[in-house]
C-alpha cells in the first residue's frame, strides 16, 4: 500500500484480513496524512436523524453535485456501502457524537438533501485515521514511515511488481518487491499557492501511476473550497470548515450585504462548494472584498458558548493564529484549493487501474466525484474504495503467479536519477523557488475561473519551467533532506500542472469546478464524456475523449422525469460569468 | 446593485485577485537559533529572517529552509495544530512550531531544538517511532460479541471525547521526566498512552482489561509521579494527569491496593474488567434492562 | 478560552520567572505550615474558646491520663487530615516537585537538575506506593468533615442562640473551603463515577453521573482548594488562639 491516509490504511486492513503480507508506506509519520485534518464529517445515509434518507438520495446528491460526469457505478457502490463502513469504524473503536436515542448523530452539510454527516465535534478525520491506525498497528502489517516511493517497477508483461522508495530518517533506498500495489497517496493541491493541503499533497501517486501507463480521468477538476483563511499570510489557505456555514455562518461583503442570495437564492450559504467559491471570488473581483482580499464569514450571532461547543477548533485557530475572536468579529475568507476530483481511473468493483497489479483508492483515484465533490463524501470514499482496493489486490495476488524480480540495472538507474540533484556541481536551480514559480503560474492561469487564452499562456509558462527541471540542485546528504525531497516533488507537480492545463483547455464549457468564462454554460455533448489522460509513447500527455456509458434503468429511474440531467445550473448572477 | 462595477472583461475576471502581501512586512528582522546537527551532535546556528505579520515559528523555519538552508530538516503537515507533526522544543519547552507565534518571544532569544526524549535524527527531527511500538502493545478496543451499530448514549461517552482529541504530538512524552530524564522507555508507556488506555478502559462497550498492563506490564503507570508536566504542554488541552492518569491509578489501586475491594472480590468471586468492584458494567457484558433516565 | 490581555500578560510574566521560583515558594510555605502545626500541637493544650473549637482538634476526643502530658488531644485526630493531605494527588505533585525535585519544573534546563539518577528513580513504585491508601484517608476525612460542619454550626450559636460574628464567618469560610477540597478529591470522584464504565447500565447510574460531573467541575480547581483550605485552616486556628490568648476579642456582627 502506498499511502497511510484513510484509504491506504483501510486497504491494508482488507488485504491483511485476506491473509496477505502487507506493507504500508507513507511520506510522513503514521496518522499525519490529510485525513487527519478533515473536520466536518463523514457522509453516509444512516438515516439516524432524517429517517427518509437512504442510499438512493445519497446517490442522487452525489451525481447531481458531480454534474453527471461521475462514474455512476462508483457512486452507486459508494452510496450503498458507506453506512456499513461507518458502522465498521464504530466496531473498531471510533466514537461519534450521539443522538438522544443513542445512535450516531448526523449534521447537515452543503448540498446534501438530508442531515447525513456523522461527526465528532470538528475532528472527524482524526477519529477516522486514529481508529484505522490503531487497527493496523494491531495486525502484522509492516509500516514504513517517512518513506517516499519514487518509482514503480514493472515486469516484461507490464505488471507492477514493486517500487523503489527511500527512507528519510536513514537516507537509504528500499526496493519493495510486491505482487500488487495499491495507490492511496491523496491529492495534489500543492501545485497552487493558496491551498489547504500540506507539503504531502504533491500528487506523487498519480504521477507514479501515470508513468507506469495508467489512465487518469477528470484531471481538469480541482475543487476550490469556498472558505480558506486569508490573513496573516502565514496561514493563507488554511481551511475554515464548512461546518461554520453548516452551523449558520453568513457570508457578507465589504458593504455588509449577505450576497449569497444573488447566486443561489434557495440554498444560500449552503449551496454546493463550486457555487459558493465562485460567489466569493466574484465579490472580491468586483471590488467588494475586505482589505486583505477576502469576504466576511460571520458566525458571531451564535454566541460564545455555542461557538465553543460546536466549533472549538475554529475558534482556537483564529484566536491563536489570526488574533481574531470569531465570537466577536467576522472571519476573512477566500477560496482555497482543497481537493482533486480527478485521478487514476479505476474499476468500480475492484479498484484496479488499467495497469495490471496497480490499484488505487481515495483522493488519488478519480471518477466518483465527477465535477464537484460533496463535503463529507471523501471520508466515506476512502473507506468504501480503500476496502475494495485491498480486497481487489488480494484477489489479484491469489489468482496470479509470477516473479517479482526485476533486473538490478533498473533499480540502479532509478537510484542514480534520484541522487543526481545532490551530485550536481556548480550553480543550479533552487527547487523551492521553482515550486513557488509554478504555484504562481497555476494561481494566475488555472484558478477558479478560466479562459482559453489564459490557460494557453499558463501552459507556455509551465512548459518553460519543465525545461528548467533538470537544472535543479540540492545541497546536503540524503539524510532527512527536505531540499532534495522538494526536487522530486517539483518534477511531479510540473507534469500534473501540464495535464491539468491541457485537459482544462479541452473541456470548453462550464461544469462544476471547471468554469470557462469564454463559453456559456454547460455543453450537453461534453456532459456525456470524460477526458482520459495517458502518457503516450513519446512520453507526452495524451488526451482521449471517452463517452460515459449510459446509466442503467434502475439508477435512471431515481431521477425525476423533468430533472435537468445535463448538470447545468444557472441561477441568478452565475449565468453572467 | 446599480452602482456596482460589474466586470465585463472575461480576461480580467479570470485573473485571480492579487494579495497585497507588502502590508504584512514589518520591516523588522529577527534572529532564530536553530539546532543543526544529527544524533552525533550539533550546535545552535543563528539565522536572520524578515519578520512578517502574524508569523509563527514554523513559518520562520520554512522561510529559512527555502532561502538559506535547503536541507534544514523539520516535520510539518497541517500548519493548523491539527496533526501534531511539528513538535520541537523552543527555549527548552516542547511546542507546536505552527502554533507558536514569533511575537510571543519578543524580548527573548528563540532557540529551537528537536524533542530531547527521543534520539535526534537531524536538525529539528527526532526519531519518535518508539511511540508507535508502544501503541501496538496496548490491547485494542474489543466490544466482545456486540456488533455495531451500537446503542450508546451521549451521557456514557461524553467524557471519552477529551482523551480522543489527542493529536499524537508526543510533546507530553517529551516533557515527561520519566522518559526525558530517567529514560524508562522499556518499562513506561508515557502519558500519551495513558490517555489512550483511559478511553479504552472507560469505553462502555470495551471488554478488555488493561490494568495488569498498567501496573505490571509495560505500562508502568506507577513510575508516573503525577507531577503534571505533561498536562502543561498538551496543545489540545487534555488534562492528562487529572483525567487520564489519576483515574487509571485509582483503578489500579482498586485492583491491587485496596483490601476492602479485594475482600469484596473474594466474597463475590467476580473479577470484572474495567471496574474492579463489579459496579460499572460495560454495556457489552451487562445486557441488563435499560435503566435510564434523561438528564 | 479567550484570555484577556491582562491575563495573557501575567502568564507571560510568570513564564519568564526563573524555573526555580515555583518549587522554592512551595517548599517555604509547606515548611512554614509544618512548623506551625508541630508547634501548636505540642505547645498548647487548650483549643476551645467559648463556642469555637480549633479545626485542628476536631472532633474533640477525650485525652487519656496515661499519656505523656506534652502531647495534646490533636494527635488523635490530626493524623487524618494530615494523612489525607500527604497522600493527596495534588500535594504529592507539590512535594515531589519542590522537596524531591522530581522534577522541579518542566523545562529541559530544570529537568537536568534532577538529583536522582535514572537507576535510582522509582516514581511511585517503591516507598510512595503507600500513597495508594489515599482513599482510606478520604473516608476518615469525610467523617471529620461532618464534625467540622457541626463545629461551624456551634460557632453560630454563641450562648445557645443564633448570632453572627467575625469568628463564625471565618469558621464558615474555612469549612466551605475544606469541603470543596475534600469533595474535589480524585478518589471521591473515582468512587462516585470514575469507576463506572456505563452509567446507563447500572442502577442509579444517572444520579451518579450527575454527581460525577459536578465533582469533576470542582476537581478542576483541586489545587486551588488545597491551598485555600490550607490557609483558611491556619487562619481559623490562629484566630481561635488569639482569642484564647486574649489578644483580640471576637467582633460581633449580629
Ligand atoms: C483541511 C482539510 C479538511 C478536510 N475536511 C474533510 C471533511 O470534512 N470531510 C471529508 O469527507 N473530506 C475532507 N477533506 C478531504 C479528505 O480529508 C481527503 O480527501 C482524504 O483524507 C484523502 O485521503 P487519502 O487516504 O486519499 O490520502 P491522504 O490522507 O492525503 O494520504 C496520503 C498518504 O499517502 C502518502 N504518500 C503520498 N505520496 C507518497 C509517496 N510518494 N510515497 C509514499 N507515500 C506517499 C502520504 O504520506 C499519506 O500517508 C479535507 C481535506 C483537508 C485538507
Ligand atoms: S504527570 Fe506523570 S506522565 Fe505526566 S509528565 Fe509527570 S510523571 Fe510524566
Ligand atoms: S496527549 Fe496531548 S500532548 Fe500528549 S500526544 Fe496527545 S495531544 Fe500531544
Ligand atoms: S503542522 Fe500540524 S500540528 Fe503543526
Ligand atoms: S486527591 Fe487531593 S484530596 Fe484526594
**Of A256, A185, A231, A401, residue with least CA distance to A333:** A231
Residues of C in Cβ contact (< 8 Å) with A103: none
Residue B2 has pLDDT above 50, yes or no: no
What would the mean pLDDT of A398-419 be, rounded to a whole number? 90
Q: What percent of chain A has pLDDT over 70?
A: 97
Q: In this structure, what DSSP letter does residue A51 have?
A: T
- Quickly tell me which residue has 529537568 as its cell: C111
Residue B294, pLDDT score = 36
d(CA C183, CA C219): 8
Residue B3 lies in a domain: no
For residues B169 and B120, membership in a common domain is answered with no
Q: Which of A218-232, A529-543, C47-61, C226-240 has the lowest mean pLDDT?
A: C47-61
Looking at the predicted structure, is the pLDDT value of residue B19 above 90? no
What local confidence, expressed as pLDDT, does residue C3 receive? 44
Average pLDDT over chain B, rounded to an integer? 86
pLDDT at residue B284, as a whole number: 55
**CATH assignment at residue B56:** 3.10.20.30
Ligand 5 lined by C190 (C-beta under 6 Å): no
**What per-residue confidence (pLDDT) applies to A490?**
94
- Average pLDDT for C49-61: 82
A527, pLDDT greater than 50: yes
- Beta carbons of A59 and A76 less than 8 angstroms apart: yes
Q: Is A73 a catalytic residue?
A: no
Which range of residues forms the domain containing residue B193? 129-268
Residue ranges making up the domain that contains C79 = 14-184+221-244
CATH of the domain at B203: 1.10.1060.10
Is C57 inside a domain boundary?
yes
Residue contact B52–A482, C-beta within 8 A: no
- Please tell me whether residues B116 and B220 are part of one structural domain: no
Contact A577/A531 with Cβ under 8 angstroms? no
**3-class SS at C155?**
helix
Whole-number Å distance between alpha carbons of C31 and A102? 53
**By C-alpha distance, which of A401, A253, A277, A295 is closest to A339?**
A277
Total domain count for chain B? 2
Tell me whether residue C250 is in a domain.
Answer: no
**Most confident range, picked from A559-568, B22-31, B277-286, C59-68:** B22-31
Among candidates A425, A561, A528, A505, which has minimal Cα distance to A68?
A: A528
The per-residue pLDDT for C40 is 78
Pair (B144, B241) in one structural domain: yes
Q: What is the whole-number distance in angstroms between the Cα of residue C88 and the centre of ligand 5?
A: 4
| Average confidence (pLDDT) over A277-285 | 91
Residue A61's Cβ-side half-sphere holds a number of Cα atoms within 13 Å equal to 27
Residue C12 has pLDDT above 80, yes or no: no
For C22-48, write each residue's pLDDT tens digit: 888 888 888 898 888 888 777 776 778
DSSP chain B: -TT------HHHHTSPPPP-GGGGEEEEEEEEEEEEEETTEEEEEEEEEEEETT-BHHHHHHHHHHHT-TT-----S-SSSSS---EEEETTEEEEGGG-BGGGGTTS--EEE--SSS-EEETTEE--HHHHHHHHTSPPP--TT--SSP---HHHHGGGHHHHT-----HHHHH-HHHHTT--TTT---HHHHHHHHHHHH-TT-----HHHHHTSTT-GGG-----HHHHH-TT---IIIIIIHHHHHHHHHHHT-HHHHHHHHHH----SSSTTS-S--TTT--PPP-----
What residues pair up with A295 in beta bridges, in sequence order?
A333
**Segment B168-177 mean pLDDT:** 96
Same domain, B34 and B105: yes
Question: How does pLDDT run across B110-146, given as a tens digit for each residue?
Answer: 999 999 999 999 999 999 999 999 999 999 999 988 8
pLDDT of residue B229: 95
Asked if the structure places residue C200 within a domain, the reply is no
Residue B145 inside a domain? The answer is: yes
The residue that leads in pLDDT, A481 or C14, is A481
Number of domains making up chain C: 1
The pLDDT mean for chain C works out to 86
Residue A468 is inside which H or E element, if any? helix A452-468
Task: Answer with the residue of higher pLDDT: A93 or B2.
Answer: A93
Q: Is residue C4 a part of any domain in this protein?
A: no
Biggest CA pair distance of chain B: 87
- Which of B68, B98, B126 lies at the terminal end of a domain, its last residue? B126
Q: Which domains does chain A have, with CATH numbers?
A: 6-221+341-399 (3.50.50.60), 227-336 (3.90.700.10), 417-508 (1.20.58.100)
**All chains having 3 or more CB pairs closer than 8 angstroms to chain C:** A, B
Across residues A238-252, what is the average pLDDT?
A: 89
Same domain for B52 and B138, yes or no, is: no
Annotated catalytic residue: which of A115, A225, A273, A511? A225
Please count the CA atoms within 13 angstroms of the CA of A544 that sit on its side-chain side.
12
A26-51 pLDDT, tens digit per residue, is: 999 999 999 999 988 999 999 999 99
pLDDT band for position A571 (cuts 50, 70, 90): very low
With respect to residue C150, please indicate whether it lies within any of the assigned structural domains: yes
Q: Does a structural domain hold residue B9?
A: no
pLDDT in tens, A94-140: 999 999 999 999 988 888 999 999 999 888 999 999 999 999 999 98
Domain membership flag for residue C85? yes
Q: Would you say A218 and A531 are in contact if contact means Cβ atoms under 8 Å apart?
A: yes
Q: Smallest CA–CA separation between B4 and chain C, in Å? A: 39
Give domain status of residue B262, yes or no. yes
CA pair distance C43, C76, nearest whole angstrom: 16
Please choose, from the candidates A223, A341, A353, A354, the residue with its C-alpha nearest in 3D space to the C-alpha of residue A277.
Answer: A223
Percent of chain C topping pLDDT 90: 44
* Among A126, A315, A319, the residue to mutate for chain B (most B Cβ within 10 A): A126
B90 and B137 in a single domain? The answer is: no
Q: Is residue C43 part of a domain?
A: yes
Mean pLDDT lowest among A40-54, A439-453, B182-196, B258-272: B258-272
Using the beta-carbon criterion (under 8 Å), do A313 and B6 form an inter-chain contact?
no
State the pLDDT at residue B270: 58
Q: Is the pLDDT of residue C1 over 60?
A: no
ipTM, 2 dp: 0.89
Render pLDDT for A59-91 as a digit per residue (tens, 0 to 9): 999 999 999 999 999 999 999 999 999 999 999
- Give mean pLDDT, residues A172-199: 92
Given this model, what pLDDT does residue B1 score? 36
Per-residue pLDDT of C119-150, as tens digits, reads 888 888 888 888 999 999 999 999 999 999 99
A490 SS3 class: helix
Question: Do B216 and B193 share a structural domain?
Answer: yes
Rounded mean pLDDT, A186-207: 91
Helix (H, G, I), strand (E, B) or coil at A157: coil
Which partners does chain A have (≥3 C-beta pairs < 8 Å)? Answer: B, C
Amino acid at each position: 500500500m502506498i499511502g497511510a491516509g484513510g484509504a491506504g490504511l483501510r486497504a491494508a486492513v482488507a488485504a491483511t484480513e485476506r491473509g496477505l503480507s502487507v506493507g504500508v508506506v507513507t511520506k510522513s509519520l503514521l496518522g499525519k496524512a490529510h485525513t487527519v485534518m478533515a473536520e466536518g464529517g463523514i457522509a453516509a445515509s444512516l438515516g439516524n436523524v432524517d429517517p427518509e434518507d437512504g442510499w438512493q438520495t445519497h446517490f442522487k446528491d452525489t451525481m447531481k453535485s458531480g454534474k453527471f460526469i461521475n462514474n455512476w457505478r462508483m457512486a452507486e457502490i459508494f452510496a450503498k456501502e458507506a453506512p456499513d463502513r461507518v458502522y465498521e469504524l464504530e466496531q473498531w473503536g471510533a466514537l461519534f457524537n450521539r443522538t438522544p436515542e443513542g445512535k450516531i448523530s448526523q449534521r447537515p452539510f452543503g448540498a446534501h438533501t438530508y442531515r447525513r454527516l456523522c461527526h465528532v465535534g470538528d475532528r472527524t478525520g482524526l477519529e477516522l485515521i486514529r481508529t484505522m491506525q490503531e487497527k493496523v498497528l494491531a495486525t502484522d502489517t509492516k509500516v514504513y514511515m517517512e518513506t517516499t516511493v519514487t518509482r514503480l517497477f514493472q515486469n516484461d508483461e507490464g505488471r507492477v511488481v514493486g517500487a523503489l522508495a527511500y527512507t528519510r530518517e536513514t537516507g537509504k533506498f528500499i526496493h519493495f518487491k510486491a505482487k500488487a500495489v495499491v495507490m492511496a497517496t491523496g491529492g495534489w493541491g500543492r501545485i497552487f499557492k493558496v491551498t489547504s493541503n500540506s507539503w504531502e499533497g504533491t500528487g506523487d501517486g498519480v504521477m507514479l501511476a501515470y508513468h507506469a501507463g495508467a489512465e487518469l480521468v477528470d484531471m481538469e477538476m480541482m475543487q476550490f473550497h469556498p472558505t480558506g483563511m486569508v490573513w496573516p499570510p502565514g496561514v493563507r489557505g488554511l481551511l475554515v470548515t464548512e461546518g461554520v456555514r453548516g452551523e449558520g455562518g453568513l457570508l457578507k461583503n465589504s458593504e455588509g450585504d449577505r450576497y449569497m442570495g444573488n447566486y443561489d437564492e434557495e440554498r444560500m450559504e449552503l449551496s454546493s462548494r463550486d457555487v459558493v467559491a465562485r460567489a466569493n471570488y466574484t465579490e472580491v473581483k468586483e471590488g467588494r472584498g475586505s482589505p486583505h482580499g477576502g469576504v466576511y464569514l460571520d458566525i458571531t450571532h451564535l454566541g460564545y458558548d455555542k461557538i465553543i461547543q460546536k466549533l472549538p477548533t475554529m475558534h482556537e485557530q483564529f484566536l491563536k493564529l489570526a488574533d481574531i475572536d470569531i465570537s466577536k468579529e467576522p472571519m476573512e475568507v477566500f477560496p482555497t484549493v482543497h481537493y482533486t476530483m480527478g485521478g487514476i481511473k479505476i474499476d468500480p468493483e475492484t479498484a484496479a487501474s488499467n495497469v495490471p497489479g496497480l490499484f488505487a483508492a481515495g483522493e488519488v483515484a478519480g471518477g466518483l466525484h465527477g465535477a464537484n465533490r460533496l463535503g463529507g463524501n471523501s471520508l466515506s470514499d476512502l473507506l468504501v474504495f480503500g476496502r475494495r482496493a485491498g480486497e481487489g489486490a488480494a484477489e489479484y495476488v491469489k489468482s496470479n503467479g509470477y516473479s517479482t524480480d526485476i533486473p538490478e540495472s533498473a533499480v540502479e538507474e532509478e537510484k542514480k536519477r534520484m541522487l543526481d540533484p545532490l551530485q550536481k556541481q556548480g550553480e543550479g536551480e533552487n527547487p523551492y523557488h521553482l515550486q513557488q514559480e509554478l504555484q504562481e503560474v497555476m494561481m494566475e492561469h488555472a484558478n477558479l475561473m478560466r479562459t482559453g487564452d489564459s490557460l494557453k499562456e499558463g501552459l507556455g509558462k509551465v512548459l518553460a519551467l519543465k525545461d528548467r527541471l533538470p537544472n535543479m540542485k540540492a545541497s546536503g546528504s540524503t539524510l532527512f533532506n527536505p531540499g532534495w525531497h522538494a526536487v522530486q516533488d517539483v518534477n511531479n507537480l510540473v507534469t500534473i500542472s501540464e495535464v491539468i492545463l491541457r485537459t482544462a483547455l479541452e473541456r470548453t464549457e462550464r461544469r462544476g469546478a471547471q468554469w470557462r468564462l469564454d463559453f456559456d454554460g454547460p455543453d450537453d455533448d461534453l456532459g456525456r464524456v470524460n477526458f482520459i489522460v495517458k502518457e503516450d509513447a513519446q512520453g507526452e500527455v495524451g488526451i482521449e475523449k471517452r463517452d460515459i456509458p449510459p446509466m442503467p434503468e434502475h439508477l435512471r429511474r431515481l431521477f425525476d422525469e423533468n430533472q435537468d440531467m445535463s448538470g447545468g445550473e444557472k441561477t441568478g448572477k452565475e449565468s453572467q460569468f | 446593485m446599480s452602482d456596482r462595477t460589474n466586470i465585463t472583461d472575461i480576461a480580467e475576471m479570470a485573473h485571480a485577485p492579487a494579495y497585497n502581501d507588502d502590508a504584512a512586512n514589518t520591516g523588522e528582522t529577527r534572529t532564530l537559533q536553530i539546532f543543526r546537527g544529527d544524533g552525533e551532535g550539533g550546535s545552535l546556528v543563528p539565522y536572520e529572517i524578515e519578520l512578517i505579520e502574524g508569523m509563527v515559528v514554523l513559518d520562520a523555519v520554512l522561510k529559512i529552509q527555502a532561502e538559506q538552508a535547503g536541507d534544514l530538516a523539520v516535520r510539518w503537515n497541517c500548519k493548523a495544530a491539527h496533526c501534531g507533526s511539528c513538535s520541537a522544543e523552543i527555549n527548552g519547552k516542547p511546542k507546536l512550531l505552527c502554533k507558536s507565534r514569533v511575537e510571543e518571544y519578543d524580548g527573548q532569544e528563540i532557540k529551537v531544538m528537536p524533542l530531547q526524549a527521543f534520539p535526534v535524527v537531524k536538525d529539528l527531527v527526532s526519531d519518535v517511532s518508539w511511540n508507535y511500538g508502544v501503541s501496538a502493545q496496548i490491547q485494542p478496543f474489543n466490544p466482545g460479541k456486540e456488533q455495531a451499530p451500537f446503542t450508546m448514549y451521549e451521557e456514557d461517552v461524553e467524557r471519552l471525547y477529551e482523551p480522543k482529541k489527542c493529536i499524537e504530538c508526543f510533546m507530553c512524552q517529551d516533557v515527561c521526566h520519566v522518559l526525558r530524564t530517567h529514560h524508562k522507555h522499556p518499562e513506561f508507556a508515557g502519558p500519551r498512552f495513558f490517555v489512550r488506555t483511559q478511553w479504552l478502559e472507560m469505553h462502555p462497550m470495551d471488554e478488555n482489561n488493561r490494568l495488569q498492563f498498567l501496573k505490571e506490564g509495560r505500562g508502568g503507570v506507577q513510575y508516573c509521579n503525577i507531577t503534571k508536566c505533561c498536562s502543561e504542554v498538551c496543545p489540545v488541552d487534555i488534562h492528562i494527569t487529572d483525567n487520564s492518569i489519576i483515574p487509571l491509578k485509582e483503578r489500579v489501586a482498586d485492583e491491587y491496593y485496596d483490601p476492602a475491594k479485594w475482600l469484596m472480590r473474594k466474597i463475590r468471586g467476580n473479577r470484572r474488567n474495567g471496574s474492579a468492584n463489579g459496579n460499572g458494567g460495560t454495556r457489552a457484558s451487562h445486557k441488563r434492562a435499560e435503566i435510564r433516565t434523561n438528564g | 478560552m479567550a484570555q484577556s490581555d491582562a491575563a495573557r500578560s501575567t502568564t507571560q510574566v510568570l513564564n519568564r520567572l526563573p524555573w526555580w521560583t515555583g518549587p522554592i515558594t512551595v517548599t517555604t510555605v509547606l515548611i512554614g505550615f509544618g512548623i506551625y502545626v508541630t508547634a501548636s500541637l505540642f505547645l498548647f493544650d487548650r483549643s476551645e474558646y467559648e463556642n469555637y473549637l480549633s479545626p485542628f482538634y476536631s472532633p474533640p476526643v477525650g485525652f487519656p491520663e496515661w499519656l505523656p502530658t506534652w502531647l495534646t488531644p490533636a494527635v488523635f485526630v490530626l493524623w487524618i487530615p494530615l494523612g489525607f493531605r500527604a497522600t493527596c494527588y495534588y500535594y504529592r505533585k507539590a512535594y515531589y516537585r519542590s522537596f524531591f525535585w522530581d522534577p522541579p519544573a518542566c523545562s529541559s534546563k530544570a529537568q537536568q537538575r534532577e538529583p536522582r539518577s535514572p537507576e535510582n528513580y522509582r516514581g511511585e513504585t517503591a516507598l510512595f506506593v503507600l500513597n495508594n491508601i489515599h482513599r482510606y484517608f478520604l473516608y476518615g476525612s469525610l467523617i471529620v468533615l461532618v464534625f467540622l460542619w457541626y463545629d461551624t454550626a456551634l460557632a453560630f450559636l454563641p450562648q445557645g442562640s443564633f448570632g453572627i460574628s467575625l469568628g463564625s464567618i471565618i469558621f464558615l469560610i474555612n469549612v466551605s473551603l475544606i469541603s470543596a477540597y475534600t469533595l474535589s478529591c480524585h478518589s471521591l470522584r473515582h468512587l462516585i463515577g470514575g469507576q463506572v464504565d456505563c452509567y446507563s447500565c447500572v442502577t442509579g447510574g444517572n444520579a451518579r453521573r450527575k454527581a460525577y460531573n459536578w465533582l469533576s467541575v470542582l476537581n478542576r480547581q483541586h489545587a486551588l482548594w488545597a491551598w485555600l483550605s490550607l490557609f483558611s485552616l491556619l487562619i481559623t486556628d490562629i484566630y481561635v488562639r488569639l482569642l484564647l490568648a486574649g489578644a483580640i476579642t471576637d467582633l460581633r456582627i449580629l
